[in-house]
Amino acid sequence: MAAWAGVAGAAVIIAAMVLLLVTVGAGASRLWVLVFAWPAVLFLYDARRRFTALRRLKRTWAVKGVSPVAMRLSPEGLRCTIDAAPAPVVLPWSAIAQVRVTGQDLSAVRVDLVPGVSATTPGVGGLDQPEARTRMRRTWKGRTRLRFAIYAVREPLSDIDQALGHFSNGRVGVR
């Protein structure tokens, strides 16, 4: 988003510069062009830098096998993609007690499971993978938590909370 905002800002500055040159006339000082050109150049340079960083990140994720989609919600349940795991973790809504999302750029998602839910529970899939087991913790209350990272939350938390409530019939939400 920031890269595209930089391109849009540079376009507005360039359009204003052209409009000023047309209004003042061809006899205008070249100094006006330089005064208005340098912010546009800075915006375009920053946008180019951000696009390059984004391409580099996408290449890194492709090489390491990081899924572009960390979790999916459906009427059947929650599907989480854990880095380096061969298959996603599938949890039906009846197995989920609550969901927490913390952080900004690198967010952590914590899914609290209903007591007694394990890899052998009907409808649950992928919890038996070693990569998923390393991300599961037991609390002192006896609950099991599955924790995984999301590198960029694309949707606002209010939308995620609304989707969780919709698909789980109001039982699960973001805390």
- Helix (H), strand (E), coil (C) string for the chain: CHHHHHHHHHHHHHHHHHHHHHHHCCCCCHHHHHHHHHHHHHHHHHHHHHHHHHHHHHHHHHHHCCCCCCEEECCCEEEECCCCCCCCEEEEHHHEEEEEEECCCCEEEEEEECCCCCCCCCCCECCCCHHHHCCEEECCCCCEEEEEEECCCCCCHHHHHHHHHHHCCCCCCEC
Q: What is the pLDDT of residue 49?
A: 92
Confidence band of 115 (pLDDT split at 50, 70, 90): confident
Q: How confident is the model at residue 11 (pLDDT cuts 50, 70, 90)?
A: very high
pTM over 0.75: no
Residue 152 is predicted with a pLDDT of 66
| Highest mean pLDDT (candidates 67-81, 109-123, 134-148) | 109-123
pLDDT in tens, 87-105: 889 999 999 988 888 876 6
CA distances from 142 to 37, 64, 130, 174 (A): 63, 34, 21, 21
Q: Residue 8's pLDDT is what?
A: 92
